Chain A
Amino acid sequence: MSLARGAAGESVFEARGVTKTYDMGEVQVQALRGADMDLFAGELMVLLGPSGSGKSTLLNILGGLDTATSGSVSYRGFDLTHATDRELTRYRRLHVGFVFQFYNLIPSLTARENVAAVTEIATNPMKPEEALELVGLGDRMNHFPSQLSGGQQQRVAIARAIAKRPSVLLCDEPTGALDWETGVVVLEAIETVNRELGTATALITHNADISGMASRVIHMSNGSISSVEQNVARRAPRDLHW
């Protein structure tokens, strides 16, 4: 139990009673209905749930892209619920790494430069080359996004996310647009980062099979957390099948 919670068992995120309501004119859509969760240092957590279950909303709130309607969310004691836009920008800049389903690379920059775009504004980054080596793209550094496959682009996105040495890595369906073979390579990269750098990682998926690689799985449905499952043994991405 203590092992699964990470070395210190220290909580990186603490979310309590988080709700999120979207005002769509006359209707109100409740995306989160009082979610409680923690993300502990060094762990790899999978948020599992069908689409519309609120997992992306939760991840966006954790990542400072959105704010909760009520409840509290804190990052190492820093209150994300009441932070200003400027504070959130700074928070993202220094502490959070994002990986999206659609890689969102800058097409006009090479792989290395896409990573450098982040390291240039971070305080204690690794070298872009180092980050790209970590995801196995050491030989593709000078390629532009258009010259890379989807999997390679996603790995650049991961390198870009972790190059600033973030405390947390947030991945929203990182393999959603990829085939199995490529997806495995991407997941391996995420796993490597989690293992070697100890970056607390939250990964969203609607694919139950992927949850095998997590230390902890949070099941979400209908805007709240339905159950939390502790994996006794984490499986390597290559052993996963979907």
Chain B
Amino acid sequence: MRALNIKLFRDLWHMKGQAFAIAMVVAGGTATYVLASSTLDSLKTTQADLYREGLFADVFAQLKRAPENMRERIAAVSGVRFVETRISVPAHLDLPGYTLPISALVLSLPKDGRAALNALYLRSGRMPELGREQEAVVSDGFAMAHKLQPGTSLMATVYGRRRKVEIVGIVSSTEFIYQLQPGSIIPDFKTYAILWMNHDPVESAYNMTGAFNQVSLKLDPGARQSEVIARLDDLLRPYGGLGAYGRQDQVSHKYLSEEFKQLTVMATVFPAIFLGVGAFLLNVVSTRLMATQRGQIAILKAFGYTTPAIASHYLKLTFLIVALGCALGLGAGQWMGRGMSAMYMEFYRFPRLDYVLRPHVIVYSVIINLVAASAGAVFAVVRAAGEPPAQAMQPSVPGNFRLTRLERLGAARSLSQPTRMIMRNLERRPLKALLSILGVALSGAILVMGGFWSNAVDFMVDFQFRQSQRDDLMVVFIDATSERALYSLTSLPGIRYAEPFRSVAVRLRNGPQAYRTSIQGLEDRGELRRLLNTRSRQIDLPEDGLILTDFLARKLLLQPGDLVAVEVMEGERGIYDVPLMAVVSEYIGVSAYMRRPALNRLLGEGNAISGAYLAADMTDAPAIYKRLKEMPRVASTTARMRMLESFYETMARQMLTFAFFNTLLAATIAVGVVYNTARIAFSERSRELASLRVLGYTRGEISYILLGELAVIVFLAIPLGCYLGQFMCRLSVAQANDLFRVPLVILPSTYAFAALVVLVAATISGLLVRRKLDHMDLVEVLKTRE
């Protein structure tokens, strides 16, 4: 057996190029799987650990203002374990040298300085000392975006009053792992900050003495959340409660969950396709590799080796290759997984990230690859070993060929003999040709899938931030206010046009299905905010009634014409039945829309507005921002261009990094497959080609025969690959979530790129094989019988 083992390593060394190419296919599939699974596992594990350590609350509520003694009554509700109350106020921040408006949420720290729930993780600096009125700690995302260090001072404006704030520490919080500014759909760390300050200065400065406007609860194990929420709503209603909600509706948690859902799709579909394709290719390649070993297998049989002994010998060879591929894949996958996790950590403000690579991920990837490889190898070895040795050692009988269909139809009279050879080789073993085509096509398909994400993201961004939203600035007022406030906006220098909107927090309900969102009251035929269908045509808002994002309508099991129960979460807290008039397909977020006057009527108010979209002359943006900050009623100002930038800086970057890794791996697989196809064809044909060389054919002429066949395979594979790629993309977008419905948009350039990579891979493989052809020892090849 030792001699066989030596043979094993020599064989492996002899076929090192091919072995490496196969290992790369294995590595590509494995790395994708490890990358996706470990990233997702790491995020989920870290999230769970942090929630537990930080005592993340179970129930949250916002209200107008309630006296501190309400706290005792809330604590007395059955099922409530801890209560924490605090004050929250919106603010504007001024950072020297940064002109864009920065919105902030100022939160009061517990009176004794120690949080029972939603603990803060101090990243650097210290917590505010009791009694220090100006001291604050700031969210780490904001600090990092502006490179703020403890010791920095900035100006905060609350209700038009400016005051100095000194940053003494930088923190992260389980409540704000996903830091989303209310009303925004993507985190922007540059323009949104959360500040925590001592209770007393917040209380006194904002007229909240002896009162609170936010409450969070930790429940007893087994407590019924819905009952606690109902009881809490009852208690807070007289104090302007905006409706309590559970963790599942808490903004950070909800978005995190949705993102994890999206990631889960990516972590399932991509690797499944990659591993599947990799396993398939591995199977094809190992089958054909073993077929080239026919003579050797016969000799071993002649020596008296049993079929199982020979099979295990070749299995070892396959296992070594697979082991190399798995090792490379695990290494690369882990390396990329750490990179991805680190990037997510920046985006989700986790105070730390525990990288997790679960053993089952390793075990699965190894098993899948081994099974695929051994199935191919065993089949081929057993077939070869089943042949009587004497026969297998004989010069191989010429294969059965016949005229191709094309020739029988008389359409190929003028073809040269080499061309006939190409055609007949392909047609003689159509299954083999088909598998080669399929292999190359699949590698092209995963390239299409890699490029598709970038296309889809660009498309969504263009749809949402260029076609649907066309404002320069969006201003939100602290409270609903009279339409007259528009004049104060349009009278600002540089503002050309203002389009008002009314936005109200609601719970939409259809029987047991409920969803917290807000109704956007828009202007009909608005200029700056347009409701579009998927063909980018503006939709008319009905005189009355509701329009929902189709995804939300489906979620609530609603169809146009149905009545929706709208529970308003502010003011009179009325519940109204509103007819669903139409649905609209949107790619980002889920929303409900009404014509603004209709919404005003529903709420029983006059021409109230919540804010306005502005068309502005942005050449003098700093002056506009300055004036807007000075307006006490303005809670936040958002620049659309900044949202676009922020989208690309955050969400798009994650998706695109993921897609980039996938493209890289797909390209690796493409090269591996094409090279193997070419290399095996070379092994199978070398005798024939050497004969032709002896007859006086030049290197170029025999290359044509071999590479011509490869070219036919590649050219047939490319369109098939594009088609399969589209099919895989369809699979990967099949699952929608609250954040995105990724449209199936694949640009011609994506197909072209995939085709180009396959062509380049084919060319490189062709050149490598051509080099082999050039160095072929004619005498040697002809002397060997097979």
Contact = CB atoms under 8 A, between A and B. Distances in A.
Given A106-B692, A146-B399, A146-B401, A89 B698 contact: yes
A113 B398 contact: no
Contact of A104 (B418, B428, B687): B687
B695 A98 contact: yes
B427 to A, nearest CB: 9
Contacts of A114: 417
Given A116-B417, A117-B418, A146-B400, A108 B695 contact: no
B402 interface: yes
B691 A106 contact: yes
Given A66-B779, A113-B417, A116-B417, A146 B398 contact: yes
B398 A105 contact: yes
B420 interface: yes
A108 B428 contact: yes
A60, A113, A117: residue with the most chain B Cβ atoms closer than 10 Å: A117
B111 interface: no
A182 to B, nearest CB: 16
Nearest to B784: A102
A65 B778 contact: yes
A113 B401 CA distance: 12
B417 A89 contact: no
A107 B696 contact: no
Interface string B374-405: 00000000000000000000010111111000
Contact of B395 (A63, A65, A102, A122): A102
A237 interface: no
Contact of B695 (A107, A117, A145, A146): A117
Contacts of A66: 779
A120 B417 contact: yes
Interface in B407-437: 416-418, 420-421, 424-425, 428
A165 interface: no
Interface in A118-151: 118, 120-122, 144-146
A160 B399 CA distance: 19
Interface string B759-786: 0000000000000000000110010010
A93 interface: yes
A65 B696 contact: no
A135 to B, nearest CB: 16
A65 B696 CA distance: 10
B664 interface: no
A107 B697 CA distance: 17
Given A100-B782, A102-B785, A108-B428, A121 B696 contact: yes
A120 B424 CA distance: 18
A5 interface: no
A116 B693 CA distance: 15
A102 B34 CA distance: 52
B371 interface: no
A104 B417 contact: no
Contacts of A107: 398-399, 401, 688
Given A104-B687, A106-B421, A120-B417, A98 B694 contact: yes
Contact of A121 (B400, B425, B697, B782): B697
Interface in B661-716: 687-688, 690-699, 701
B420 A118 contact: no
B398 A144 contact: yes
A81 B785 CA distance: 28
B398 A65 contact: no
A121 B696 CA distance: 8
B291 to A, nearest CB: 16
A96 B399 contact: no
A206 interface: no
A164 B697 CA distance: 13
Interface string A76-99: 000000000010011011101010
B696 A96 contact: yes
A178 interface: no
Contacts of A109: 401, 417, 420-421, 424
Nearest to A157: B691
Contact of B425 (A60, A108, A153, A177): A108
Nearest to B691: A104
Contacts of B421: 106, 108-109
A86 B698 CA distance: 8
Contacts of A86: 698
Interface in A182-223: none
A94 B696 CA distance: 7
Contacts of B693: 89
B779 A144 contact: no
A93 B696 contact: yes
A117 B398 contact: no
Contacts of B699: 89
B417 A65 contact: no
Given A104-B782, A113-B420, A65 B400 contact: no
Interface in B584-641: none
Contacts of A90: 696
Contacts of B701: 121
A94 B699 CA distance: 16
A71 B375 CA distance: 55
Contacts of A104: 687-688, 690-691, 694, 782
A29 to B, nearest CB: 14
A172 to B, nearest CB: 9
14 contacts: A63-B694, A89-B697, A93-B696, A104-B694, A106-B417, A107-B399, A108-B399, A108-B401, A108-B421, A108-B425, A113-B420, A117-B692, A146-B398, A164-B696
Interface of B: 395, 397-402, 416-418, 420-421, 424-425, 428, 687-688, 690-699, 701, 778-779, 782, 785
CB-CB nearest 5 A-B residue pairs: A93-B696, A145-B398, A107-B398, A117-B417, A104-B691
Given A90-B696, A102-B785, 8 more contacts: A63-B694, A86-B698, A98-B695, A108-B420, A114-B417, A117-B417, A146-B398, A153-B398
